[in-house]
Amino acid sequence: MKTITVEDLKAKLDAGEKINLLDVREPHEHAAFNIGGQLFPLGLVQSLQLDEIEHLKQEEVFIYCRSGNRSGQACLMLEPYGFTNVINVVGGMLAWQEKFPE
């Protein structure tokens, strides 16, 4: 599984790169704080309800959660279903908020 630090991800965003962000947290977590990712809770990944993200199979997709655990699980679950370039955001939104307090 590929990984990226929050610093490197923020640098991509700050540079204006068009990237695919997938937030696998729960809706209340996403509502409280997010960095613009598409909300797709881990439960949808676990139940293989992948139609909504099918178009991302061949794309580079940065997956994040609260701490990096659920996003790591999501990466491992998506890879066998043809998602060839999923990248786990190490430390998740906890690391993001620690490094980049608002």
Q: Active-site residue numbers?
A: 65
CB-hemisphere CA count at 13 Å for 18?
1
Cα separation, 6 vs 24, in Å, equals 16
- DSSP letters for 74-95: HHHHHGGGT-TTEEEETTHHHH
